Amino acid sequence: MKTVYVKAIGLFVALLVLGGAMPIAARDGLGYIVINGMVKDRLTKKKLENVNISVPGTNIGTITNADGEFTIKVTDSLHVATLDITHIGYFNQRFAVNGKDMKGVTIFLSPNSIVLNEILIQGAQPLKLVIDAIHKIADNNSPNTNMLTGFYRETVKKRRSYISISEAVINIYKTPYTENVDGDRIQVYKGRQLLSPKSGDTLAVKLMGGPNLSVYLDVVKNPDLLLDLETLSYYQFTMDKPVMINERPHYVVNFAPRVTLPYALFYGKLYIDQKTLAFSRAEFNLSMDDRNKATQAILKKKPYKLRFKPEEVSYLVTYKQHNDRSYLNYIRTEFDFRCDWKRKLFSTNYAIVSEMVVTNREEHNVINIPRKLTFNDKNSLSDKVGSFYDENFWEDYNIIAPTESLDAAVNKLMKHQR
């Protein structure tokens, strides 16, 4: 079978353990407690994905995984009494913490189906609403430089089997939201990677992605992606049913391409806080009306005889409010595509998923990441890789808890490597 090597620009972080600025989540061996469990819908008992778990009065947090599970680590010195649990469409919940490790807890959230005033929705003009929200970005988002600590994970599936798993702690230097993304920087601080040892599990394509998506997919900070006032006319905007986020009513605005351009556009939803007009969430997909244009948007390099066929490209970006300001919280991307070699009868399905959650944030005395430590699209991260065999690899860093399927994949790949 033909050998392939799946490698994105910055994607599939074959992760370096880099020196330099210490992530603000690191605590130099101080004691901490661990709380882990699951979040479910109180009525249906359904496990809830992407629920925010945070420590009140701090910038510490994480999210639940696809199985509704979470793990959060908190230093003893904070004397935490509760955790805040928030999710779109649900009432907030406060969970009591007893100052000790807590395992296997179950937290139930109640649906919040409060509907905005129907007349208000009917009278809303979606395009004007988006424009007004864009003009409010400077008021609603951080006017200061921030240093974010994030946990980043990428997985690659070939058919139903994982063939690559990468994880990292990253530093994200973000300039004020009154400035563009050009001054923002990423540093991969610590990470590890696990690859399938089978030669047939590699695919020589380079895709647009990697840790730098934590900068470029910040749609509020990077208006060129979706919220450029000069290109809003490319889209048709319509109102959708409102929702509650963090117990605050939100407008939901659908958007879809209304023109044909030489490059692919997006379609999706924007969630806008009714009171402040802050953008809280963006869900969008790359249009597949023209697969060649979609390919041009995400594919950077491939072998001449390999045929690359995109199936779906989706993005999710969320923001979290703190002290009346919105901050980047979570980014998820998924690329589904098929590849085959010319003169072959069958193609192979691949799925690449990357996630980044902000686990801590510092807004005072922020020092820029040195340029020599900045991750960029030309970096190769395959040289020095942390080991999946170290059970204490993450120590007291907060991460996205692995799903059962991911745990099983790690164990399987590690057995193959022995």
Inside any domain, residue 13:
no
pTM above 0.85?
yes
Inside any domain, residue 102:
yes
DSSP code for 90: B
- What's the angle, vertex CA 189, arms to CA 54 and CA 146, rounded to 5? 55
Which pLDDT value is given to residue 124?
72
Structure tokens at 296: 């041009």
Which pLDDT value is given to residue 382?
47
Inside any domain, residue 339:
yes
Q: What is the pLDDT of residues 145-204, one digit of tens each?
A: 999 999 999 999 999 999 989 999 999 999 999 998 999 999 998 889 888 888 776 767
Which pLDDT value is given to residue 215?
85
Res. 407: pLDDT tops 50: yes
Inside any domain, residue 234:
yes
Q: What is the pLDDT of residues 214-249, one digit of tens each?
A: 789 999 999 999 999 999 999 999 999 899 999 999
Three-state DSSP at 129 gives helix
Res. 31: pLDDT tops 70: yes
Percent of the chain with pLDDT over 70: 86
Inside any domain, residue 56:
yes
Inside any domain, residue 5:
no
Inside any domain, residue 251:
yes
Q: What share of the chain is helix, strand, coil (3-state, %, to 5)?
A: 15, 45, 45
C-beta separation of 275 from 283 below 8 A:
no
Instruction: Tell me which residue range forms the domain holding 369.
Output: 32-417
The domain tally of the chain equals 1
Q: Which has the higher per-residue pLDDT, 204 or 279?
A: 279
C-beta separation of 328 from 358 below 8 A:
yes
